[in-house]
Amino acid sequence: MAQGPRRTIQQVVCVVALAVAVTAFLSVAAVRHGFFDLKVYYGALTWWVHDGGEIYDFLKPGTQYGFTYPPFAALVMLPMAYLPWAAAIAVSVAASVLVTAVLFWWLIDPISRRCGWTRWFVLAVALCLAAAYEPMRETVNFGQVNMLLLFLVAIDLLRLLPAGNRWAGVGIGLATAIKLTPGIFIVYLLVTGRWRAAVTSMATAAGVTLLAAALFPDASREFWTEALWNTGRVGELAFVSNQSLRGVVARLNPEHPSTLAWLALVLATLALWAWRSRAAVAVGDEATGLALTGAVMCLVSPVTWVHHLVWLLPALILLVDNGMAAPAGSRRRRVLLGAAVVGYGLLISRIVWAWEKDFIGLDGFLGSNTYVWISLALLAFLPIRRPGDGGRIGRRWAAPAGSAVEAPGVPQLDQPDRRSPAGQRHRIGRPLTVR
């Protein structure tokens, strides 16, 4: 048998074996939520469309949970009210799987090309591993929209913005109008000096929000004046699933969590994020900017349920990317790949749930906030790729000379529009030789 077909057969066998192993793991480790959140959306939309009620008045029977997203999200989800329940489940799962596959292709394909790996095989392995990832399996089991929002943001940061496309910012604006937390990416664009994309994202968010207000004035009035401020609709802050800085503070004193301590932590975290994001964009590393902002969003949001941590996926993939870009056998490669394995291992383990009932004491403080510590570590230590590291998605854009994101002491990408008097390009720090 030829080497090519033999290799393909071996790879197919490996993928099938991994899929079987992941399925067995999920049968033991995965918690079945019965598409709880999707039932909330479906019930609220049915109540609104078919029963004549106001969408924000709906509560899932026996719970305090209702529709918490802005009116534009209701407009986007409106077709669900006309689908059978089984079809709504199928659409939710299929959409999450599809956008995950595309996002992974954007992030992983450069690694495959650089390392000479079979591209379809690497993608298949990554998708199997993603199925075991607790935030991903929670997203699917709850029927959440997290991956769809991440995909909208990634379209802007990994495809449109690096290419200089004038529509860059639309995806972030739509994601923000569907769920407010992705609005941190508008701040990211502002902090890193991409004014046009920032204005586009703000205009998009405002435009579709006004559209929803025109179509559904009563629902919009209720959301912006009442439902948005009713924090009791989202759940208990001290609950161990809340893996944000607010959750950390709440678990220290569930009865009287310190708002001042939380705000101080948020400000310090945002300062670190702004510094690192500017450094990433200064060298054109847009993928790391996406990863850093996803991590900080999880940290500073008042509520970050475990399923929201799919926003850490780009950072984990970039750890592997940076590790494989390091010299073979080097300490850097071992550290980065080891960090990726440890982080992924913890994030499939459900370790925080060991302290679901009792998070008192040092072990409770450390263990119940494990995912928070991972988010902080990724924010602080995820490498920023300098020019010449190669193979990275989202590297075509670089800050123009004199812009707000040109960080002192940080080398810039080679740019066709930066030429020497002799018309030759050169890298900063490398002598220019005119021949």
Q: Is residue 412 scored above 60 in pLDDT?
A: no
CB 216 within 8 A of CB 74: yes
Q: Which amino acid is at 100?
A: T
Cβ atoms within 10 A of the Cβ of 67, count? 27
Give the model confidence (pLDDT) of 194-244 as tens digits.
999 999 999 999 999 999 999 999 999 999 988 787 766 566 899 999 999
Closest Cα to residue 279, out of 261, 292, 264?
292
More confident residue, 64 or 407: 64
DSSP 289: H
Report the chain's terminal Cα–Cα distance, integer Å.
53
Q: Which CB contacts under 8 angstroms, 24+ apart, belong to 88-95?
A: 88/38, 88/42, 89/35, 89/38, 89/143, 92/35, 92/38, 92/140, 92/143, 93/140, 95/147, 95/148
Give the model confidence (pLDDT) of 49-95 as tens digits.
998 889 999 998 888 889 999 999 999 999 999 999 999 999 999 99
Give mean pLDDT, residues 31-54.
93
Q: What is the mean pLDDT of the chain?
A: 88
| Distance separating alpha carbons of residues 141 and 35, to the nearest angstrom | 5
Give the model confidence (pLDDT) of 166-175 as tens digits.
999 999 999 9
Burial annotation 192-209 (CB, 10 A radius, 16+ → b, else e): bbbeebbebbbebbeebb
Phi (first) and psi of residue 163, to 5 degrees: -85, -5
Give the model confidence (pLDDT) of 394-405 as tens digits.
554 444 333 444
| Distance separating alpha carbons of residues 422 and 128, to the nearest angstrom | 52
Per-residue confidence band for 417, with pLDDT thresholds at 50, 70 and 90: very low
Give the model confidence (pLDDT) of 289-303 as tens digits.
999 999 999 999 999
Per-residue confidence band for 124, with pLDDT thresholds at 50, 70 and 90: very high
Q: What is the pLDDT of residue 388?
A: 57
| Distance separating alpha carbons of residues 232 and 238, to the nearest angstrom | 12
Closest Cα to residue 383, out of 311, 316, 313?
316
Structure tokens at 259: 């708002």
Q: What is the pLDDT of residue 267?
A: 98
Counting DSSP H helices and E strands in the chain, the numbers are 18, 0
Give the model confidence (pLDDT) of 239-292 as tens digits.
999 999 999 999 999 989 999 999 999 999 999 999 999 999 999 999 999 999
Give the model confidence (pLDDT) of 421-434 as tens digits.
333 333 333 333 33
- pLDDT > 70: percent of the chain: 87
Q: Is residue 409 scored above 50 in pLDDT?
A: no
Closest Cα to residue 38, out of 99, 97, 80, 95?
80
| Distance separating alpha carbons of residues 193 and 97, to the nearest angstrom | 33
Per-residue confidence band for 5, with pLDDT thresholds at 50, 70 and 90: confident
Structure tokens at 77: 């989800």
CB 210 within 8 A of CB 266: no
Q: Which amino acid is at 369?
A: N
CB 303 within 8 A of CB 240: no
Structure tokens at 156: 């802007």
Structure tokens at 257: 């969590």
Burial annotation 21-52 (CB, 10 A radius, 16+ → b, else e): ebeeebeeebeebebebbbbbbbbbbbbeeee
| Distance separating alpha carbons of residues 4 and 17, to the nearest angstrom | 20
Give the model confidence (pLDDT) of 125-154 as tens digits.
999 999 999 999 999 999 999 999 999 999
Structure tokens at 111: 């690694």
pTM (2 d.p.):
0.88
Q: Which amino acid is at 346?
A: L
Q: What is the pLDDT of residue 106?
A: 96
Structure tokens at 42: 């479906």
Give mean pLDDT, residues 370-388.
92
Give mean pLDDT, residues 19-41.
93
CA distances from 5 to 1, 117, 170, 397 (A): 7, 15, 44, 40
Give mean pLDDT, residues 175-198.
97
CA distances from 317 to 197, 282, 391 (A): 25, 21, 13
Q: What is the pLDDT of residue 403?
A: 42
Q: What is the pLDDT of residue 30?
A: 84
Q: What is the pLDDT of residue 3?
A: 65
**Cα 179-181-185 angle, rounded to 5 deg:** 115
Per-residue confidence band for 408, with pLDDT thresholds at 50, 70 and 90: very low
Give the model confidence (pLDDT) of 301-327 as tens digits.
999 999 999 999 999 999 999 999 999
